[in-house]
């Protein structure tokens, strides 16, 4: 049992510095993490080697064994010549005093542990993991040969009898050492590969964010441009419109262009839908304005609007972004209905401290699986759609403390229900507000 405890302790001395190196260096999301940190490798290998020497394993009477050759090997192949020589010298310094080995043994140990590690170091980082394991086995075989040679030399020089079980124990010890060295190399390579993969994922995520940002800008700007195009066509094709009507159309066009500019500014400022400037807004007026804006687009698609919007509906939020939300939803409804007898209904009312905005169409509908995926980036039922419109819509509604729920049946249409917290305005006479004030 003591032998098992000693082996576990030696294993801890070897493995712990590797995990510490990963924790304080390789785990950073920085390209410098892949560079060789010589001071950290040297200090970790020195401490590991010395601890292995201080608490050795006694396999038989007078014959000690430890794993100090593992941190020595790691210091050479991963830290370089300076790290390896410093670890080697510190190992020799602690090796001489406790066990009083001869200078001959020290010379041979330097030859075995140092020169072999140095010869492997030259191209170690370019080897495949399979080749590294092969060199690990060769390193272990070299130590085994050296240990058996020393054991036989000491036994013969002292005229002691050689027992098979002693040779067997030496072989088992070196086998354990080789196995632990292979495990250490595997852990180091695995951690390095994980660090490389993590950095690649971070880079890919940044590129994905840039791509999504560009697609979002294009998608969101397209909506006001569509409205502008509709009104410009209306102005150009209408021969009987009055000056006041044309002025109204031009004001709406300018308003939509301002909204497009605002969207671009938000996205380029890396604020996007996260930049919310809330204030008390009249949602009734906003919805009525949106229906006017979308009328030209609906007429172009031969779609008829049915509106039932209560008066004095107030919310606390960002008017521009809520307008963006309802334009997205209504535009999707218009595009989903058939070219003949298409109807889009908009109903807004207050129920239990919430404003319910129900947008209904008699379009193609959706399956349950399609509804569950709504709001996912780049998932769209349109041929050229990006799906980012609903992604932004869900995010904006959530930031206003509301929710969006879709229900649909194939060939029967779709119902989108937006719920927003009702803002109590004392200057209005909405029935719900009066009830709240009296209560």
Residue 308 burial (10 A CB sphere; 0-12, 13-18, 19+) = exposed
Whole-prediction pTM: 0.49
What confidence score (pLDDT) does residue 439 get? 32
Q: Are strands 303-309 and 342-351 parallel, antiparallel or unpaired?
A: parallel
Q: What is the largest CA-CA distance in the chain?
A: 124
Count H helices, E strands: the chain?
14, 9
Using the predicted structure, report yes or no on whether residue 173 has a pLDDT greater than 70: yes
Among 268, 242, 219, smallest CA distance to 386 is for: 219
Residue 320 burial (10 A CB sphere; 0-12, 13-18, 19+) = middle
Write the DSSP symbol of residue 111: I
Crossing angle for the helix pair 164-237 and 319-336, nearest 10 degrees? Answer: 80
Beta strands in 141-270 (DSSP E): none
What confidence score (pLDDT) does residue 377 get? 66
Q: Which residues touch 48 (CB under 8 Å, ≥6 apart)?
A: 13, 14, 16, 17, 68, 70, 71
- Per-residue pLDDT, averaged over 159-165, amounts to 64
Give me the CATH topology for the region 271-438: Heat Shock Protein 90 (3.30.565)
Q: Is the dihedral of CA 6, 7, 9, 13 positive or negative?
A: positive
What confidence score (pLDDT) does residue 358 get? 96
What confidence score (pLDDT) does residue 350 get? 93
Residue 237 burial (10 A CB sphere; 0-12, 13-18, 19+) = exposed
- Per-residue pLDDT, averaged over 115-131, amounts to 78
Cβ neighbour number for residue 335 with a 10 Å cutoff: 17
Residue-wise pLDDT tens digits, 177-202: 888 888 988 998 888 888 888 888 87
The string of DSSP letters for 22-54 reads IIIIITSSSGGGGS--HHHHHHHHHHHHHHHHH
What confidence score (pLDDT) does residue 383 get? 65
Q: Which helix (H) or strand (E) holds 359?
A: strand 354-361
Read off φ and ψ for residue 281, nearest 5 degrees: -130, 150
Name residue 308's beta-bridge partners: 347
C-alpha 286/C-alpha 319 separation (Å) is 8
With DSSP H G I counted as helix, E B as strand and the rest as coil, what are the percentages for the chain, rounded to 5? Answer: 65, 15, 20
Residue-wise pLDDT tens digits, 87-112: 888 877 766 554 444 555 555 666 66
What confidence score (pLDDT) does residue 427 get? 56
- Tokens standing for residue 241: 């419109």
- Pick the most confident of 19-33, 155-169, 270-284: 19-33
Using the predicted structure, report yes or no on whether residue 395 has a pLDDT greater than 60: yes
Residue-wise pLDDT tens digits, 274-333: 567 789 999 999 999 999 888 888 888 888 899 999 999 999 999 988 998 999 899 889
- Per-residue pLDDT, averaged over 54-66, amounts to 71
What confidence score (pLDDT) does residue 210 get? 67
Three-state DSSP class for residue 340: coil
C-alpha 178/C-alpha 138 separation (Å) is 9
Q: What percent of the chain has pLDDT over 90?
A: 16
- Tokens standing for residue 167: 């040779």
- Per-residue pLDDT, averaged over 230-257, amounts to 78
Q: Are strands 342-351 and 279-282 parallel, antiparallel or unpaired?
A: unpaired
Q: Which helix (H) or strand (E) holds 8?
A: helix 2-21
The C-alpha R_g of the chain, in whole angstroms, comes to 38
What confidence score (pLDDT) does residue 31 get? 66
Residue-wise pLDDT tens digits, 73-82: 888 888 888 8
- Tokens standing for residue 431: 């029935």
Using the predicted structure, report yes or no on whether residue 8 has a pLDDT greater than 70: yes
Helix intervals (H) in 238-364: 243-268, 283-300, 319-336
What confidence score (pLDDT) does residue 140 get? 82
Q: Is the dihedral of CA 173, 177, 182, 187 positive or negative?
A: positive
C-alpha 396/C-alpha 271 separation (Å) is 12
What confidence score (pLDDT) does residue 260 get? 79
Mean pLDDT, the chain, integer: 79
C-alpha 318/C-alpha 430 separation (Å) is 22
- Per-residue pLDDT, averaged over 215-242, amounts to 76
Residues spanned by CATH 3.30.565.10 within the chain? 271-438
- Three-point CA angle 332, 268, 318, nearest 5°: 55
Crossing angle for the helix pair 164-237 and 283-300, nearest 10 degrees? Answer: 80
Give 235 or 154, the one with higher predicted confidence. Answer: 235
Residue-wise pLDDT tens digits, 329-386: 998 899 899 878 889 999 999 998 899 999 999 999 999 888 988 887 667 777 655 5
What confidence score (pLDDT) does residue 438 get? 30
- Tokens standing for residue 215: 């697609």
């Amino acid at each position: 049992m003591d032998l098992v405890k000693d082996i576990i302790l030696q294993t801890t001395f070897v493995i712990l510095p590797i995990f510490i190196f990963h924790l304080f260096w390789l785990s950073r999301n920085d390209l410098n993490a892949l560079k060789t940190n010589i001071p950290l490798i040297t200090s970790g290998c020195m401490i590991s080697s010395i601890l292995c020497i201080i608490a050795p394993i006694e396999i038989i009477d007078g014959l000690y064994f430890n794993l100090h050759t593992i941190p020595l090997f790691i210091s050479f192949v991963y830290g370089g010549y300076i790290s390896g020589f410093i670890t080697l010298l510190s190992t020799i310094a602690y090796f001489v005093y406790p066990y009083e080995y001869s200078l001959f043994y020290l010379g041979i140990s330097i030859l075995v542990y140092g020169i072999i590690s140095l010869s492997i170091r030259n191209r170690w980082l370019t080897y495949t993991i399979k080749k590294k394991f092969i060199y690990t086995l060769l390193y272990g075989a070299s130590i085994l040969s050296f240990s058996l040679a020393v054991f036989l030399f000491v036994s013969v020089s002292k005229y002691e009898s050689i027992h098979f079980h002693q040779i067997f124990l030496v072989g088992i010890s070196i086998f354990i050492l080789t196995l632990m060295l292979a495990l250490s190399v595997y852990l180091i390579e695995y951690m390095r590969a994980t660090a490389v993969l993590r950095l690649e994922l971070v880079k890919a995520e940044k590129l994905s964010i840039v791509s999504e940002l560009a697609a979002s800008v294009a998608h969101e700007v397209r909506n006001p441009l569509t409205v502008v195009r509709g009104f410009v066509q209306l102005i150009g094709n209408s021969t009987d419109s009055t000056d006041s009507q044309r002025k109204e159309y031009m004001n709406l066009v300018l308003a939509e262009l301002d909204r497009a500019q605002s969207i671009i500014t938000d996205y380029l400022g890396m604020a996007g839908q996260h930049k919310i400037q809330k204030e008390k807004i009249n949602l009734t007026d906003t919805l009525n304005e949106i229906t006017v804006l979308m009328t030209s687009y609906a007429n172009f698609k031969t779609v008829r609007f049915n509106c039932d919007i209560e008066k004095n509906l107030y919310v606390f939020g960002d008017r521009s972004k809520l307008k963006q939300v309802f334009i997205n939803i209504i535009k999707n409804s218009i595009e989903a209905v058939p070219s003949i007898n298409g109807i889009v209904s908009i109903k807004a009312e207050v129920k239990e401290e919430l404003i319910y905005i129900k947008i209904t169409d008699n379009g193609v509908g959706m399956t349950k699986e399609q509804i569950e995926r709504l709001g996912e980036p780049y998932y769209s039922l349109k041929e050229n759609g990006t799906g980012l419109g609903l992604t932004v819509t869900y995010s904006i509604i959530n930031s206003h403390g509301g929710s969006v729920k879709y229900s649909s049946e194939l060939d029967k249409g779709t119902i989108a229900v937006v719920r927003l917290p009702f803002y109590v305005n004392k200057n209005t006479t909405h029935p719900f507000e009066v009830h709240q004030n009296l209560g």
